[in-house]
Amino acid sequence: MPRAFSELTFTPAVRVHQERMGSADSYGKFLDAGPRSGHEIKEAERAFIEARDGFYQATVSETGWPYVQFRGGPVGFLKVLGPQTIGYADFSGNKQYISRGNLDGNDRIAMILMDYANKRRLKILGRVSFAEGADAAAELYPDGAEAKAERAATIHVEALDWNCPRHITPRFTEAELRPHLTALGQELATLQAENEALKQKLAKLA
């Protein structure tokens, strides 16, 4: 676990539970380890982020309640703009604006990006700013998007961490399954043709 993520998440209360459950020593090394790390997007993170078609985000309201929402779009709608910057066109939705309102009072965001097929997930902590209007989101608008963009969202990454794959149940999108289904379809067509040819040959021998 990178030091930046540990610094933000291993609060005194968290450390108490780590002590109680016997994991404090193994996790403490991340707080004491050398130069700060895990606050910049490297090539592996960039490739992973830009290959996603959605992510889960958590914000906190003025009343202290967390709110988790799924944000989705075409693959590539989430763009890496710099070593600590991610951006996306914020599409028009059901117009409840819960996340949007929460971020006015507290600009902190937690994100989880999932790759179910390969049992991978990336956690990101950051701060969000907005530029209102479709024009502001024009450069971030992805190919293939059908919804209207209401604003540009920019996330300043404070920390990120690859999470343990344990307990992730593999799931596959239609796009991920299509090459395998196409191959199976071709194999089935070949077998059907061979079967028909054998039937015709047997019919001639009868």
Flag whether pLDDT at 1 surpasses 80.
no
| Sign of the torsion angle spanned by Cα atoms 89, 54, 105, 96 | positive
Cβ-based neighbour number of residue 116 at 10 Å: 14
Pair (100, 139) in one structural domain = yes
201: confidence class by pLDDT, cuts 50, 70, 90: confident
Pair (55, 96) in one structural domain = yes
Pair (1, 86) in one structural domain = no
Pair (143, 48) in one structural domain = yes
> 181: domain range?
173-206
In sequence order, what are the residues at sequence separation of 6 or more whose Cβ sits closer than 8 angstroms to the Cβ of residue 75? 51, 52, 53, 175
Domains held by the chain: number:
3
Pair (17, 112) in one structural domain = no
Element (H, E) at 187: helix 174-205
Pair (33, 117) in one structural domain = no
Q: What is the mean pLDDT of residues 132-154?
A: 86
Q: Yes or no: say if 85 and 45 are a contact pair by the CB < 8 Å rule.
A: no
Nearest to 41 by CA among 72, 7, 87: 87
CATH of the domain at 96: 2.30.110.10
Residue-wise pLDDT tens digits, 58-72 = 999 999 999 999 998
